[in-house]
Structure 1
């Protein structure tokens, strides 16, 4: 087995493939991923304004982010199975329509309970989108370039994470938090139009070829990938959710914007760099991502009082993290082959649950111990992730033959 992402991910491959990547189609998938993560992150930069409108506390309003991630985690597997036989573009259009409608209605809501319901519905829409992206991209790509196609399609996730909070804050400054949600709904509608024109409508998976979840989880290598993904993402979200507290602890509260800019810039750079090498060096890239991330956290743990080192560590963290969704999903597709559609829905469940778990654990650590404890907890998780990735040479993250 090689490091390249080359296995089929659906029952019917695209015919008449060309040697070059289908840029317009991949842009549609990129935008779908971007709007999903943007919608998830949007409230984080709007909490004071939203809490005032909803007449509740900032902490309770923050649960609109947690509930969204929870809905995505709960919905990914059952929704993917329910729509497995549907044409892929129909599923993507339906999901984008749900996200657009939920965002538009959220902007009109002044009731906390209704807002939570709408955020849950929007999260279900994302639960339909994310499992589609990697497999859709791989089926559109020429042989031997699936990894790069997956990296492009999933690049919307790190870019959305990097831009979601500052973009929401900026839009809010133009017309209030409601304007930010209306703008998000508008981008969703534009994405639907682009998808309608640019994406071929690939068939779903015939009922007789569908895999059971138990069958997929039994595939050698998948469980180590999911464990490495979970520990990696929980570590990230423990730190990223409470980056403001961490920077305040380091005496850099006034530099939060610049630190997040450094993280975002290197995340985008990571997408560009990793995308050119993922087909040939998947294992090396996954190992590098986990080891570099762990080294960054170690620096943050020991040298939080040195601003220059904090900037360097956060920038390197952004570079390590930026393409991690593409790397882990690429590994899943490599490992599971024809069962990749089901495997991706399981992966998205783990991914989304890790976001919620990371924020929850980080909050407990801050309340019960200290700010410094979040770096040590993240480091322990990353050591476990790195050990799993490095040790998974047979099935999960195989060396080149």
Structure 2
């Protein structure tokens, strides 16, 4: 039964979300994460086809992240005055071209150049997606719209990368990159059809980055971001050769366990982040450290390997959301967007340096040394959080008002979320 509002009432129903357009942006986020991280699950196959060691294929992840790190701020600033939808479509076309070259290339140098170009597209896209979603809905629906878009990250991590690895087992890794090319081209049509166009921004409206970076607590939060990503990426980029090293040849299963665990971690974080941020972040980092210790000592046991990966995935799934929330607490709502752009740069620097470090360790000391390389970095992040109890990670957080329509934090609203 429908009940009519009282006579004279000014209450109006909340406008419906532009779901089709938001799902298009969600799929764009999914495609970007798949393009960036898929080589981590395809190392042996790509290395054999390109006639290079496994570590060199890991550098394809490094190159992508490094290009994204270097291009995000200057390219976004240069294109800020242009209409938003053509810029987004241009990034998607760029992804399609780069993935097509990767699928067809038989030369490592050409593949590496394609990955650099894809990283540039990724840096530009991540600077746009969250802001684009926020402009598509009224203020009271922004939280839910952003949650829908960032869900593409979780879908890629928990389902996309494992499914891509399994598909590569059946049809070859080139088929997977060809499929990503098709998805990007279909997205161009979808975005043109369902995502509204918006004008560009005036260059003078940008808040100077150095003023936000100097706020108390910001540098501490960014240092934890860097250390976490360094330690994580040393291990995650080379999970395939590590699994083979310990005698477990089912990389797709390892990635599936990790991805599924991130969903659990994100859900738990969404429930508790507002009341137990500091305690949860300490617990997450300690859990990752314990998982790495177990991988270093007992990974030859399949049960220990999968349990450790599950704990690692659950802890890492929530950690970036916790760190981003701490960053917004330190910067204040007014400066949150600028602070998050700084975190995006640091995030990509961590990915690039972590995958580079892991590749050097893999080629020099072997896969067995990877957990012992990652463990001190995570321990350092844990120490910084434990010491940062005043400005960056206080025992009691400042009061944060939330719109009643906002959804709980979701998938890496990271985590590569940081990428807004």
Which of the numbers 364, 385, 391 marks the counterpart of 1:389? 385
Which of the numbers 339, 347, 350 marks the counterpart of 2:346? 350
Correspondence 1:291 to 2:286: yes
> How far apart in 1 are the matches of 2:190 and 2:270?
23
Could you say if the C-alpha distance between residues 360 and 178 of structure 1 is closer, same or farther in structure 2, counting changes exceeding 3 Å? Answer: closer
Structure with the greater relative contact order (CA < 8 A, sep ≥ 6): 1 or 2?
Answer: 1
What SS is found at the alignment partner of 1:253? coil
> How far apart in 2 are the matches of 1:89 and 1:330?
29
> How far apart in 2 are the matches of 1:354 and 1:90?
30
Could you say if the C-alpha distance between residues 203 and 385 of structure 1 is closer, same or farther in structure 2, counting changes exceeding 3 Å? Answer: farther
The 5 A counterparts of 1:86-97 are: 86-97=82-93
- Residue by residue, what CA displacement relative to the aligned partner does 1:72-112 show, whole Å, maximum 9, x if unpaired? 11111211222234444443322222112222233333444
- Residue by residue, what CA displacement relative to the aligned partner does 1:19-76 show, whole Å, maximum 9, x if unpaired? 9876545433322221111112233444555556556555544433322222111111
Return 5+ residue gaps in structure 1 as ranges.
1-15
Which of the numbers 213, 218, 222 marks the counterpart of 1:222? 218
Alpha-carbon RMSD = 3.5
Partner of 1:12: none
Which of the numbers 113, 116, 139 marks the counterpart of 2:112? 116
Could you say if the C-alpha distance between residues 374 and 65 of structure 1 is closer, same or farther in structure 2, counting changes exceeding 3 Å? Answer: closer
> How far apart in 2 are the matches of 1:138 and 1:288?
32
The two structures have a TM-score, normalised by structure 1, of 0.80
The two structures have a TM-score, normalised by structure 2, of 0.77
The 5 A counterparts of 1:37-186 are: 37-47=33-43, 50=46, 54=50, 59-137=55-133, 150-172=146-168, 175-186=171-182
Point out the more displaced range, 47-56 or 201-210.
47-56
Could you say if the C-alpha distance between residues 256 and 57 of structure 1 is closer, same or farther in structure 2, counting changes exceeding 3 Å? Answer: closer
Return 5+ residue gaps in structure 2 as ranges.
1-11, 399-420
The 5 A counterparts of 1:170-249 are: 170-172=166-168, 175-201=171-197, 204-248=200-244
- Structure number with greater Rg is 2
> How far apart in 1 are the matches of 2:361 and 2:287?
24
Could you say if the C-alpha distance between residues 28 and 224 of structure 1 is closer, same or farther in structure 2, counting changes exceeding 3 Å? Answer: farther
Q: Is the contact between residue 67 and residue 120 of structure 1 (CA under 8 Å) also seen in structure 2?
A: yes
Q: Is the contact between residue 58 and residue 356 of structure 2 (CA under 8 Å) also seen in structure 1?
A: no
